[in-house]
């Protein structure tokens, strides 16, 4: 066998002198073959061979970030918007440590990622050299699979398997550690791509029989993130049109899942089990399209769904049924395909009259929501929902919204209107620091303008994203809702009856001394800044920012997010 360490002497060569490419060059070629176009990273010395290979690859672009968590979150947003596996490139143990929060978020949001970190030279790992650590051990708890390359001839198989595992259901991040000396060694030709297995067939007839026995008012459709995309949305529309059912999204979904103007749409369920039971009321049958994710926030006693409600779940993941709710029947395979098959066999007579009634019910609910907002419009500083309403009304229809502002969790989707093809992304992992880099990744993937809604606290988790957005001239408007505090924590502490909160003593929750100068922060990153503290200023200023086609910060002073 060839001594791979001898090949490291030929670092400047395009090949190994015998027609073989280096492992780094082979990896770059496999990335291109897997459909990768952008690698997001913040490299160091142990990553330089792969960085050089990416620079030489005609189909790859390296997107630099100033911090590893930003790189991973940017790859996450890009992967979600582009519909392909994202690739992040980190620097050894320190970079992996920085990125762990973003990797946890990607795992929770089922984002297919291949995360690659450089490792120290394998020939002296026994000495615990500077920069080295147990990278696989660090990454393993938060990824689907973690592996460190030990032989250069395995590199192609290892990388192909990483992409297959990242895509396999449920998708998620996979981690690879690459010792720097092995990336400079000669590589064997990589194996071909690994195809995805076909989904299992489900019991459509049994599900259709259960649905046939339920009246329209007894039936609800719960759509989850795994139904995201035009195909899933069309299947959900067909089912709602065929049955006249009410449609809800499961709590805190990442994606836009159902047209907001459809008469059956009733919004996103709150992350509170007591409220979910109240909203679903007397319904007796739920069709749960996807892997559930009925996530509560605070603890509430009692079951997830109303007592006596039966559940049909469509899911690819065999571990999903029973995790959120107990399913009476599971239809395996792709939820979108299963829902489409059901829609073809469950149409019921009289559905047109039910649809008219649904439209009237929706109009009453929408009018009530508008009336609640109207009572807040004259407040200064602006209520966060009024600020968001002004932003959305000043933006063109079809703009992508990426939201991690906690003040808007409960209501932004009531304001935002979208149909098939429109995009809305939400930080479903609940981890701050995702929004700004994810918005940059979405803009890079789609080429369309993006509105990133975040708070002043959230903006400080990953402000480095401003620099990458400026460098790439991405059309992202970073809307920073600034109340100079962690408002959601203050409200939660008050609701819990904690003595310090009742006394107005919010320890660690106030951000006004010193106040963060977002204008100076934006300027330091090469990004324009505009402050707009009234509805008129938002209306007059935002179109110009969007029309410029480059990143900008729109800072809005807001008040507390009291109920609306």
Q: Do 144 and 231 lie in a common domain?
A: no
pLDDT in tens, 513-544: 999 999 999 999 999 999 999 999 999 999 99
Q: Residue 323 is part of which domain span?
A: 204-358
Q: Where are the beta strands (DSSP E) in 84-203?
A: 86-91, 113-119, 145-148, 173-179
Split at pLDDT 50, 70, 90, the class of 93 is very high
242: tokens are: 């065929």
What number is the average pLDDT over the span 391-414?
A: 89
Q: Do 549 and 491 lie in a common domain?
A: yes
DSSP category for residue 382? B
Split at pLDDT 50, 70, 90, the class of 427 is confident
Q: Do 134 and 8 lie in a common domain?
A: yes
Between 356 and 198, whose confidence is greater? 356
Highest mean pLDDT among 320-324, 393-397, 554-558: 554-558
Q: Which of 119, 154, 183 is the last residue of a domain?
A: 183
Mean pLDDT, the chain, rounded, equals: 90
Q: Do 144 and 221 lie in a common domain?
A: no
pLDDT of residue 170: 87
Q: Do 170 and 225 lie in a common domain?
A: no
pLDDT of residue 243: 96
Split at pLDDT 50, 70, 90, the class of 228 is confident
Please state whether the peptide bond connecting residue 514 to the residue before it is cis, i.e. omega within 30 degrees of 0: yes
> Is the confidence at residue 6, as pLDDT, over 60?
no
pLDDT of residue 9: 34
What number is the average pLDDT over the span 85-106?
A: 96
262: tokens are: 């459809």
Torsion angle (degrees, nearest 10) of CA 10, 15, 16, 22: 90
Greatest Cα pair distance in the chain: 78
CA distance 348 to 240: 11
Q: Which of 49-58, 113-122, 199-208, 218-227 has the lowest mean pLDDT?
A: 199-208
What number is the average pLDDT over the span 358-380?
A: 92
Q: Which of 18-27, 401-410, 553-562 has the lowest mean pLDDT?
A: 18-27
pLDDT in tens, 276-295: 999 999 899 999 999 867 87
Determine, yes or no, domain membership for 428: yes
Split at pLDDT 50, 70, 90, the class of 563 is low
pLDDT of residue 193: 87
Question: Where residue 239 sits, what CATH number does that domain have?
Answer: 3.40.50.1220
pLDDT of residue 30: 97
Query: Which residue's structure tokens are 């959601």?
Result: 488
* Residues 289 and 317 sit within 8 Å (Cβ to Cβ): no
Determine, yes or no, domain membership for 365: no
* Residues 85 and 163 sit within 8 Å (Cβ to Cβ): yes
Determine, yes or no, domain membership for 268: yes
pLDDT in tens, 181-226: 999 999 999 888 887 655 555 688 899 999 998 999 999 999 998 8
162: tokens are: 């990483």
The pairing of strands 113-119 and 400-403 is unpaired
Query: Which residue's structure tokens are 């006004």?
Result: 512
Q: Do 147 and 10 lie in a common domain?
A: yes
CA distance 179 to 202: 45
Q: Do 174 and 221 lie in a common domain?
A: no
Q: Do 211 and 112 lie in a common domain?
A: no
DSSP β-bridge partners for residue 453: 403, 479
What number is the average pLDDT over the span 144-160?
A: 95
Q: How far is CA 463 from CA 327, 329, 481, 530, in A?
A: 43, 46, 14, 16
Q: How far is CA 282 from CA 264, 307, 452, in A?
A: 16, 9, 38
34 Cβ partners below 8 Å, 6+ apart?
A: 85, 163, 193
Determine, yes or no, domain membership for 199: no
**Number of domains composing the chain:** 3
CA distance 71 to 433: 11
Query: Which residue's structure tokens are 């007059």?
Result: 540
* Residues 451 and 474 sit within 8 Å (Cβ to Cβ): no
Between 411 and 143, whose confidence is greater? 143
pLDDT of residue 497: 83
Split at pLDDT 50, 70, 90, the class of 423 is confident
Question: Where residue 92 sits, what CATH number does that domain have?
Answer: 3.40.50.970
> Is the confidence at residue 162, as pLDDT, over 70?
yes
> Is the confidence at residue 95, as pLDDT, over 70?
yes
Q: Which of 138, 153, 183 is the last residue of a domain?
A: 183
pLDDT of residue 333: 86
Between 553 and 13, whose confidence is greater? 553
pLDDT of residue 430: 67
Helix (H, G, I), strand (E, B) or coil at 481: strand
DSSP category for residue 411? T
Query: Which residue's structure tokens are 């109920």?
Result: 563
Torsion angle (degrees, nearest 10) of CA 437, 442, 443, 449: -110
Complete DSSP assignment for 276-329: HHHHHTT--EEEEESS-----SS---S-SS-TT-EEEEEES-TT-TTTSS--SE
DSSP β-bridge partners for residue 272: none
Determine, yes or no, domain membership for 195: no
Q: Which of 303, 329, 358 is the last residue of a domain?
A: 358
Between 260 and 197, whose confidence is greater? 260
pLDDT of residue 202: 60
> Is the confidence at residue 562, as pLDDT, over 80?
no
pLDDT in tens, 455-510: 999 999 999 999 999 999 999 999 999 999 888 888 888 888 888 877 877 788 88
How far from the centroid of its chain's Cα atoms is residue 277's Cα? 27
Q: How many CB atoms lie within 10 A of CB 507?
A: 9
What number is the average pLDDT over the span 312-319?
A: 85
Determine, yes or no, domain membership for 218: yes
Determine, yes or no, domain membership for 188: no
> Is the confidence at residue 319, as pLDDT, over 80?
no
219 Cβ partners below 8 Å, 6+ apart?
A: 211, 243, 245, 246, 283, 284, 285, 286, 287
Split at pLDDT 50, 70, 90, the class of 14 is very low
Q: Where are the beta strands (DSSP E) in 150-218?
A: 173-179
Q: Do 47 and 96 lie in a common domain?
A: yes
35: tokens are: 């459909």
Q: Which of 7-16, 386-395, 436-445 has the lowest mean pLDDT?
A: 7-16
% of the chain exceeding 90 in pLDDT: 70
% of the chain exceeding 70 in pLDDT: 94
pLDDT of residue 486: 86
Q: Do 154 and 292 lie in a common domain?
A: no
Determine, yes or no, domain membership for 196: no
503: tokens are: 């006394």
Torsion angle (degrees, nearest 10) of CA 514, 520, 522, 528: 140
pLDDT of residue 69: 97
Which stretch of DSSP H or E encloses residue 479? strand 476-482
> Is the confidence at residue 56, as pLDDT, over 90?
yes
Q: Do 37 and 78 lie in a common domain?
A: yes
Q: Do 14 and 153 lie in a common domain?
A: yes
What number is the average pLDDT over the span 235-241?
A: 97
């Amino acid at each position: 066998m060839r001594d791979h360490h001898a090949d490291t002497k030929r670092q400047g060569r395009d090949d190994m002198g015998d027609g073989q490419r280096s492992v780094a060059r082979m990896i770059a070629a496999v990335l291109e073959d897997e459909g990768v176009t952008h690698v997001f990273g913040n490299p160091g010395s142990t990553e330089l061979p792969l960085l050089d290979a990416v620079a030489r690859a005609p189909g790859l672009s390296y997107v630099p970030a100033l911090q590893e968590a930003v790189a991973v979150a940017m790859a996450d947003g890009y992967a979600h918007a582009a519909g392909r596996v994202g690739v992040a490139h980190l620097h050894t143990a320190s970079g992996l440590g920085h990125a762990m929060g973003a990797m946890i978020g990607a795992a929770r949001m089922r984002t297919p990622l291949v995360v690659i970190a450089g490792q120290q030279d394998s020939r002296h790992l026994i000495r615990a050299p500077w920069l080295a650590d147990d990278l696989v051990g660090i990454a393993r708890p938060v990824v689907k699979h973690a592996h460190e390359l030990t032989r250069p001839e395995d590199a192609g198989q290892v990388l192909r398997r990483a992409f297959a595992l990242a895509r396999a259901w449920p998708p998620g991040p996979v981690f690879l550690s690459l010792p720097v000396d092995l990336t400079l060694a000669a590589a064997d030709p990589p194996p071909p791509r690994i195809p995805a297995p076909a989904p299992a067939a489900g019991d459509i007839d049994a599900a259709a029989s259960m649905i046939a026995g339920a009246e329209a008012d007894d039936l609800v459709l719960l759509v989850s993130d795994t139904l995201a995309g035009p195909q899933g949305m069309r299947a959900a529309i067909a089912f709602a049109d065929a049955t006249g059912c009410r449609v809800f999204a499961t709590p805190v979904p990442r994606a836009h899942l159902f047209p907001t103007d459809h008469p059956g749409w009733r919004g996103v369920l709150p992350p509170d089990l007591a409220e979910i039971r109240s909203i679903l009321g007397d319904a007796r049958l739920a069709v749960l399209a996807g892997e559930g994710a009925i996530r509560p926030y605070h603890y509430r006693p009692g079951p997830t769904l109303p007592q006596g409600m039966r559940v049909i779940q469509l899911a690819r993941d065999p571990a999903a049924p029973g995790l959120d709710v107990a399913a009476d029947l599971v239809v395996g395979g792709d939820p979108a395909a299963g829902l489409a098959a059901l829609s073809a066999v469950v149409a019921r007579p009289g559905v047109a009259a039910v649809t008219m009634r649904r439209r009237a019910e929706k109009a009453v609910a929408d009018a009530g929501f508008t009336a609640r907002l109207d009572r807040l419009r004259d407040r200064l500083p602006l209520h966060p929902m009024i600020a968001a309403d002004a932003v959305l009304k000043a933006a063109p229809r079809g703009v992508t919204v990426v939201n991690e502002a906690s003040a808007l969790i409960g209501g932004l989707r009531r304001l935002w209107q979208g149909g098939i093809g429109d995009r809305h992304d939400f930080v479903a992992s609940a981890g701050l620091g995702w929004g700004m880099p994810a918005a940059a990744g979405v803009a890079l993937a789609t080429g369309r303008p993006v509105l990133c809604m975040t708070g002043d606290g959230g903006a400080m988790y990953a402000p480095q994203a401003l620099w990458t957005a400026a460098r790439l001239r991405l059309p992202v408007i970073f809307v920073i809702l600034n109340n100079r505090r962690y408002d959601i924590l203050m409200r939660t502490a008050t609701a819990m009856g904690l003595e310090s909160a009742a006394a107005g003593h919010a320890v660690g929750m106030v951000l006004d001394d010193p106040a963060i100068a977002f204008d100076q922060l934006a300027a330091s990153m090469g990004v324009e800044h505009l402050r707009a503290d009234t509805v008129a200023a938002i209306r007059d200023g935002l179109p110009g920012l969007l029309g410029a086609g480059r990143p900008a910060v729109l800072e809005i002073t807001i008040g507390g997010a009291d109920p609306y």
